[in-house]
Structure 1
Amino acid sequence: MKFARLGPIGQETPTVFHEGRHYDLLTLTADIDGDFLASDGPERARVALEAGWLPEIPNASALRIGAPIARPSAVICIGMNYAAHAAESGSLPPEIPIIFLKTPNTVVGPNDSVEIPPGSTKTDWEVELGIVISKRASYLDSPDDALDHVAGFVTANDVSERDFQMAVSGGQWSKGKCAPGFNPTGPWLVTPDEVDFQNLSLKSWVNGEIRQDSTTADQIFDVKFIIWHLSQYLALEPGDLVLTGTPEGVALSGRFPYLAAGDVCEIEIEGLGRQRQDFIAHEKAAK
């Protein structure tokens, strides 16, 4: 199943997307959030959809697409999880997963504009497979237990400011990861039964020119291992978002220019949908 949220920022309607149409889920849940995912919400939605109980949303194509999950309690990210990306970053492939955090308020709609932060000269793109958690995962016994805790998968753009990330990091990466809008997510949350998640094509484009073209089969640490590994150090809660790393082809490689105001970035993951962001200059709010 594919879940989405449509409407203005802060007023999104939860929907299920089926055969090109959006169906309203407000009779089942106020939002696509941890409570919905942990209470067997996707299965209840499937039953209601098949029974014809859900009204179709008129003019759905004219509505803004929000992130397919409400603001998570945490966004946990895996760094350098593709060997070629580690190499273009000047690093050896990691022997254990590298973890960093993004703030939950970075999560925005897949087509929302992204402001380049003041003083930024190295804003970068990163197409990533995202995992959404369905129930609490803490101290799992093995990677084989991981999928019992996964609600589904999303397309995500782990937008980064490399100078903030590296030069003024203070020893960690999150300064370059947490500017407003730095985590476009969606358009859909797709349940695991519809996703061959370890064999998905990932691509990105800037101004129509291809940048990244890889597959999740090239991950160093796979989805199951990542969830198990994280559970040994923190508790993943329903609705949390885990980003699994990006393949080669980013501006950090030195092969491409960094993003500037007026640039358009598009990313796509097979079966999970496509995004498009206009990158714009930061404008200070009026005092």
Structure 2
Amino acid sequence: MTEGKIVKSLSGFYYVLSENGIVYQCRARGNFRKRKITPLVGDDVEFEAENLTDGYVLNILPRKNVLVRPPIANVDQALVVFSVKEPDLNLQLLDKFLVHIEANRIEPVICFTKIDLLGEHETKNMDSVAEIYQSIGYHVLFLSMKDKKTNDKITPYLKEKITVVAGQSGVGKSSLLNLLNPSLKIETNSISSHLGRGKHTTRHVELFSVAGGLVADTPGFSSLAFSHFTKEELSDTFIEISKAGEYCKFRGCTHLAEPGCAVKQAVEDGDIAKSRYSHYEAFFKEIKETKRRY
């Protein structure tokens, strides 16, 4: 048996990149279906193939993590791509992406695109936004598809890693990948003036070779469900809230109404951004209501 990594899944076929750099088209053995196991893009697998188009995936090696949407395994980091205009920046949605990424123990890199559309005053506001996330410990990049230095800003983050490119529709994810690797020629669409958001141009998950690593262009979407979250897990996905929470008076503090809450004090002192805390409150309420419906 040979080891490799699934780099594309399409119409029941799995395209496996072998250790020697050759891609084999494979099917999954029938026992996967019986065991209710689905091979995923990003899976490290054992396979056998007599030729390039007639192989079989025999075994899936242990996974580091699994994302449900997009369905991909063993992700090292996420480029979280949000435009500052067209569509306008939505910080609550950005924090929702970050929460889901943190929950899967994936390293996020925040990429703000279309900065060439900003005026001087708007640029200063974005600097303040960037400071919030940099103070937490996140890497923040300002990008423009018109800037020749964009490649140089991103490529150091990609080498020898599996990276997902995630974000709202129409923010420039596919354009960014085309810039990094022009041979990809991924389909892109402009923003719908009627709806104010981009059309979905990516219809399947595939890992592309970019800058010495593997990058997934993932389907665009504008909402994320909290169906797999508990209220207790939420604070762990807000790094600064988790750290401050260690000094709360009561164990299991929800950081909402309890006395002696170090998190609420940190918000008052300006050590935790009010926007981040308000999003924590909103997500907590959303999780509570989601669990009630179940």
Q: Normalising by the residue count of structure 2, what TM-score does the alignment of the two structures yield? A: 0.26
| Larger RCO: 1 or 2 (CA < 8 Å, sep 6+) | 1
Q: Which protein has the bigger helix share?
A: 2
Q: Normalising by the residue count of structure 1, what TM-score does the alignment of the two structures yield? A: 0.27
Q: Over alpha carbons, which structure has the higher Rg?
A: 2
Q: Which protein has the bigger strand share?
A: 1
